Amino acid sequence: KNVSAPATVPSQDKLLGGLLSAAFEESTCQSRYKSSLYRKPSPFPLSPYLVKKLRKYEAYHKKCGPGTQRYRNAVEQLQAGRNADDGPECKYVVWFPCNGLGNRMLTIASTFLYALLSGRVMLVNVPREQEGLFCEPFPATSWVLPGGFPEGNPMKLNVGAPESYVNMLRNGVIRHDTPAASLPAHVYLHVEQTRLRLSDNIFCDDDQKLLGKFGWMILKSDSYFAPALFLTPMYERELARMFPEKEAVFHHLGRYLFHPTNKVWGIVRRYYEAYLARVDEKIGFQIRIFPEKPVKFENMYDQLTRCIRKQRLLPELGSPANATGEHDGKVKAVLIASLYSGYYDKIRGLYYENPTKTGEVVAVYQPSHEEKQEYASNEHNQKALAEIYLLSYCDKIAMSAWSTFGYVAYGFAGVKPWILLRPDWDKEVSQVACVRSTSVEPCLHSPPILGCRAKKEVDVARVKPYVRHCEDVGFGLKLF
Ligand code: GDP
């Protein structure tokens, strides 16, 4: 709980130039102020307009959030099956979880951006495996969807749900000119990467205007859909004011929203202080093997070492016979995040058995190897979150293509990663080991077909100067 206000106001530096609210008691969530001390200062200036917008949002959330009379009224309205008239005092978007932690963090950030743009309060449905991971981000209120919420049976939230926006339009339940008072009490927005496309043009002005009339929106997504908001004409101006540098959208929003609880922060802090605090350079490798495109260990290891050599990520090995024993005392730490221990064993072995040419010392660490992913385990998620944070303290990051886990880490860091490319579908090995990302933004894997009214597909990367296709997902989009 974060209800008590601090006795003294923390400095602007501590608040990341105003990104963070001053209205929290530090001890309730130490990571909020301590985490940034483990990183270099953000290379991306913060727009004063965004800061203003966040403070305004916090006041709105407090006014309409759980525990308020306004919230109870809104829930009653939902229960009664009535939509509010145009312009209700409080509108809500309720986030539902989907997939792993990285996906969830990217979609919460996207949903929050959407809430900022569309004047909604964002509430998150926190399943058991996600409990106790994150501090409350908004002061003197809660973002957790209270129990007893009448709608949104997770089993029914799928592309076929009758209350999904696209289906209601298709079935004539709603039309673009339906008045607010005649609409159903809520709308479900399904933004999953079904067939790797965001469903049917929902990021068009007409649709956003209609969606805006609903007092309650339930949203489920597994994608970083923030770039799609930038492609919606009616949000363009506001977004330009909030993010003069479009490359820093997740970087800022992520560092605003996500703060590990003291329990998870303990894991992060203990590890960091034990192994990483005193080294001269930190290099993070995140190796993710996806079940839908398994890559053999030997091939992945070979690709990683090719990337290391080509991009000179680690000191070259010399021959044991010529080891001089002299060096400048510099230590490079390699931090490996992976479900498996094999990569760690081999890389550590290399620098154990051989000297480096320069005499530099390379220390290799891996906090955990969970062997398999378990979406439904709380302890597993605590470690995953801790490792995302530890990776985000690295000066250089090389990560597996397609991984939202890696996207979150480099996004927090504000560091352009090297991406270990995925082999083509019919190949076992990627010819190119890794490429440097052109942006610190995550990739949207399922771009919308931005035809809107025109009813034709458009390659937005050709039309909009601030989006391009991702290095790892050819048809994906990212802001830069
Ligand atoms: P993505 O599947 O790579 O896009 O990332 P997600 O975070 O959405 O899902 C992968 C899940 O597998 C994570 O949330 C973790 O639960 C687990 N996982 C994958 N890689 C690692 C790792 O390096 N360390 C830990 N602790 N967990 C991992």
Atom of ligand 1 nearest to the CA of 374: 16
> 459 in a domain, yes or no?
no
Residue closest to 182 by CA, chosen among 44, 82, 41: 82
Q: Which atom of ligand 1 is nearest to the CA of 375?
A: 16
Separation of CA 372 and ligand 1 centre (Å): 9
The 10 Å Cβ neighbour count of residue 292 is: 5
Whole-angstrom distance, CA of residue 100 vs CA of residue 355: 39
Ligand 1 centroid from CA 102, angstroms: 7
CA of 329 to the centre of ligand 1 (A): 34
Tokens, residue 365: 């660490």
- Residues 296 and 423 reside in one and the same domain: yes
Judgement on whether residues 185 and 203 belong to the same structural domain of the protein: yes
For the Cβ of 101 lying below 6 angstroms from any atom of ligand 1, the answer is yes
- Tell whether ligand 1 has an atom less than 6 A from the beta carbon of residue 223: no
128 & 276 share domain: no
Query: What is the domain range of residue 228?
Result: 16-257
Q: Say yes or no: 280 and 427 in one domain.
A: yes
Distance 479 CA to ligand 1 centre (A): 23
Tell the residue nearest (CA) to atom 18 of ligand 1.
373
Which residue, judged by its Cα, is nearest atom 23 of ligand 1? 338
Tell me which residue has its CA closest to atom 9 in ligand 1: 100
Residues with Cβ within 8 Å of residue 394, at least 6 apart in sequence:
282, 283, 284, 335, 409, 413, 415
Question: From ligand 1's centre to the CA of 393, what distance in Å?
Answer: 17
8 A C-beta contact, residue 199 and residue 446: no
Residues 271, 251, single domain; the answer is no
Task: Give 18's DSSP letter.
Answer: G
pLDDT per residue as tens, the chain (480 positions): 445 566 667 778 889 999 999 999 999 999 999 999 999 999 999 999 999 999 999 999 999 999 999 999 999 999 999 998 877 899 999 999 999 999 999 999 999 999 999 999 999 999 999 999 999 999 999 999 999 999 878 788 888 899 999 999 999 999 999 999 999 999 999 998 765 566 677 899 999 999 999 999 999 999 999 999 999 999 999 999 999 999 999 999 999 999 999 999 999 999 999 999 999 999 999 999 999 899 999 999 999 999 999 999 999 998 877 666 677 789 999 999 999 999 999 999 999 999 999 889 999 999 999 999 887 899 999 999 999 999 999 999 999 999 999 999 999 999 999 999 999 999 999 999 999 999 999 999 988 877 777 767 888 888 889 999 999 999 899 999
Q: Do both 187 and 315 map to the same domain?
A: no
Name the residue with the closest Cα to ligand 1, atom 10: 100
Q: Is residue 471 part of a domain?
A: no
Q: Is residue 315 within 8 Å of residue 428, measured between CB atoms?
A: no
Which of 223, 257, 291 represents a domain boundary (last residue)?
257
91 closest CA partner among 206, 220, 235, 213: 213
473 is a domain residue: no
State whether 354 and 420 are in the same domain. Answer: yes
- Dist. CA 55–CA 19, nearest whole Å: 9
Instruction: Give the integer Cα–Cα distance in Å for 251 and 146.
Output: 28
How far away, in angstroms, is 246 Cα from ligand 1 center? Answer: 26
Q: 174 and 86 in one domain?
A: yes
Out of 257, 276, 301, a domain closes at 257
Inside any domain, residue 476: no
Distance from residue 98's CA to the centre of ligand 1 (Å): 13
Rg of the chain over all Cα atoms, to the nearest angstrom: 23
Output the six-digit token pair for 243: 């993010």
The verdict on 382 and 420 lying in the same domain is yes
Q: Is 387 in the pocket of ligand 1 (CB under 6 A)?
A: yes
Does 140 share its domain with 77?
yes
Residue 458 falls within a domain, yes or no? Answer: no
CA-to-CA distance for 394 and 417, rounded, in angstroms? 10
Examine the domain organization and report whether 214 and 328 are in the same domain: no
Reduced to 3 states (helix: H, G, I; strand: E, B; else coil), residue 219 is strand
Assigned domain for 295 exists: yes
Give a yes or no: residue 293 inside a domain. yes
Q: Is the CB of 405 under 6 A from ligand 1?
A: yes
Q: Structural domain tally of the chain? A: 2
97 Cβ inside 6 Å of ligand 1: no
**Does 7 fall in a domain?**
no
Domain final position from 204, 234, 257? 257
Rounded-to-integer distance, Cα 351 and Cα 14, Å: 38
Mutate to test the pocket of ligand 1, among 341, 380, 405 (most ligand atoms within 8 A of CB): 405
Pick from 292, 373, 419, 443 the residue to mutate for probing ligand 1's pocket: most ligand atoms within 8 Å of its CB.
373
CATH number, domain containing residue 304: 3.40.50.11350
Instruction: Clarify whether residues 164 and 220 are in a common domain.
Output: yes
